[in-house]
Each structure stands twice: as C-alpha cells, then as structure tokens.
Amino acid sequence: MSSHSSRKRRIRYDRLISTLLIPVVFLIILIAVITSSCGSDKESKETAENPAVSDESSRVYKNGNPEYEIKYLKRSDIYKGSLILVNDSHEYLASPEDESLTGIDEIKNDYYSIRNIGMKMDTLALKNFNSMMSGFYQQYSDRSIMITEGYVSANQQNILYNQALENSLYESKGGFSEHQTGLAVDLGIYPDSGESYKYVPDEKYSWIKENCTKYGFIQRYPEGKSDKTGVSDHTEHFRYVGIPHADYITENNLTLEEYLQMMKKYAYTNKTLSVSSNSKDYEVYYIKANDENSDSVEVYVPQSNPYTISGNNADGFIITVEK
C-alpha cells in the first residue's frame, strides 16, 4: 500500500513537471523567434542605410567603401583634363603646361601633313591623332589630310577674333576657344593635285568621322546642334575627349555640353554610367567640388582599377574607371 501511494505521488509529480515545462519551452521558442525577427529587421535596415555594391549600373559608393580611397586634388584642377568644357560661356582659365603640349612635327607620322612647322597639340591627343591617321592610311593609302589648326594662344586667338569681326565672320574671343586647350584640331584636305579645301565627311573622308571615336575624338560642332554649342556646324573641327566618352557622346547624339550636364546625374554616392568602348567596360561618375573656399577637393577613386580624372572647367570632376 505504501509503495502504491508512493508511485501515485511520483506520477502526479511527473505530470506537474511536464505541465510546467510546456509553457516554459513555448516561451523560450517565442522569445527566440522575436529576437531573430528583430535581428533580421535590423540587418535589413543597416543594409539599406549602408548599401554595398549593388548591380553595376546602380553601384553606390560610400566613404567607407574599402574598394575606394580619397585622393586630394587642387580646386584649380577642375580647369584641366580632356573633358573640360570651353565655349562662349565657359572661359578657359588654365594654361597648358609645357609637358602637356608637343610640337606636332616632333612626333607626327607620315600619313598626314601640317600647315606650319611649330604647330602644337596636347601630347595625348596628338598620339591618338597619329593612330587615327595611321588607320585612315591603312584603309585608303591616302595622305591628303592636313592639320590646319592645333593649339592657339589667347593672344593669337584675339587676333583671329578681330580679323573675323572685320569680315563679319564668327570666331571665339581669346579665352573662349577650344584651340587654347591643345585638345582641338581643324582638318583640311590637300591632295597631290594642289587643290585644297576644308575637311568634309564625304566619300573616303567619311571614314574619319565614322571612326574618330575609336581614338577618343568627336566632331565637336555637329549639324543641328548650334542651340547647344553656340556654334554652327564645323565639319572640320575635331576635339579629343578620350575613350570611352567619345563613343558615348557620338552614339547618343550628344554635344559635349549635353554630356557634361547629363553626368551630374551620375554623382558619387549615386549610380554610375556604364559604357563599353573598344571591347572594354568602363564606369564613369561625377564629383562636385563643393567648398569654393577650400583649396583642395576630396575625390574618391578605386584602389586597384585603372582610372583617369578630368575637370569639367566648371564645378567638378569626371572619374573614368576601367573595369
């Protein structure tokens, strides 16, 4: 009898323990679920506030991104580079440094001629022009292209301006001509017959207009865009802007004015512009030089990928990254 009572008490005790354990276990599970949910929400929030690399066309760059580092530039560097905008509204405030200009006759190839000995161009632009003329010659065995104008100083440009004014012709004032950058070139056609005329993209000469973007050049003043450039179409005037910008500008029927304005949408911490050119992929973005009272500007550049930086001659920089 005593043993039977003891067994009944033990059974009641076990049932009591089981009854108490069920809600305790349920409570532990509930707390774990709530904690996990809160952690997930917090993680999602942190990801939204500090996004890492998303898809390539909308990559976001934050100051702490380990792929990028700060480069300090002089504020005056916004007036330098292959993408600077020079027109009647944007004065060229820099001067080409000695090392950036090269005498054309010093390194030109045999596939074109120049109007005068001593003419100069931006060194990088000239090297790419040489490559373009080599390509033209390989296609047509023709040497009739001549550079009629390259770098022009501000003083010389003012002389040209006054001469044009006397003859009711258009010419930019000194300080407002692309030729002062050394990045622009005017072409003429001088065949062996002795007849000469300005470049027009007809017949075989259309090859230059159709292929110039491969070498970083654009036809700067295209037909039907004078409302954007302020200049009527000049078929003979080509401007070096670099690869891949020349491709994008031409393919999308833009002027340099329109392209640089569009780049404001691709500011740092915003999406980047993805461009493919010459079988390579690039990312392009804009950084505004915010503090006008500061002598330096923070520019974020990749730590490992090749890149170039150009000012826009207005308010900031365009960074081009080769992927």
DSSP state string for 153-205: -HHHHHHHHHHHHHTT---PPTTS-GGGGT-EEEEEE--TTS--EE----GGG
Please report, to the nearest 10 degrees, the dihedral formed by the alpha carbons of residues 79, 83, 86, 89 taken in order: -90
Q: Which residue has the higher pLDDT, 217 or 270?
A: 217
pLDDT at 281 over 80: yes
- Model pLDDT, residue 291: 76
- Model pLDDT, residue 31: 55
Q: Taking Cα atoms as reference points, which of 209, 147, 133 lies closest to residue 182?
A: 147
Instruction: State how far the Cα of 228 lies from the Cα of 255, in Å rounded to an integer.
Output: 7
What does the pLDDT look like over 61-84, one tens digit per residue? 444 455 899 999 999 999 999 999
Task: Give the mean pLDDT of the chain.
Answer: 84
Q: How far is CA 158 from CA 57, 153, 232, in A?
A: 45, 9, 20
Encoded amino acid at 13, one letter: Y
Range with the largest mean pLDDT of 18-32, 193-207, 237-251: 237-251
Average confidence (pLDDT) over 259-268: 96
What is the Cβ-side half-sphere exposure of residue 127, based on CA atoms within 13 angstroms?
5
Cβ proximity of 85 and 257 under 8 Å: yes
pLDDT at 29 over 70: no
Q: Kindly provide the b/e burial profile for residues 206-219, where b requires at least 16 CB atoms within 10 angstroms of the residue's own CB.
A: ebbbeebbbbbbbb
Strand order in the sheet with 273-277: 273-277, 280-288, 316-322, 307-311
The 10 Å Cβ neighbour count of residue 153 is 15
- Model pLDDT, residue 193: 79
What pTM value is reported for the model? 0.79
Instruction: State how far the Cα of 134 lies from the Cα of 143, in Å rounded to an integer.
Output: 10
- Model pLDDT, residue 47: 31
- Model pLDDT, residue 62: 47
What is the pLDDT confidence band of residue 94, given thresholds at 50, 70 and 90? confident
What is the pLDDT confidence band of residue 39, given thresholds at 50, 70 and 90? very low
Encoded amino acid at 281, one letter: D
Encoded amino acid at 139, one letter: Q
pLDDT at 228 over 50: yes
Pairing of strands 197-198, 217-221: unpaired
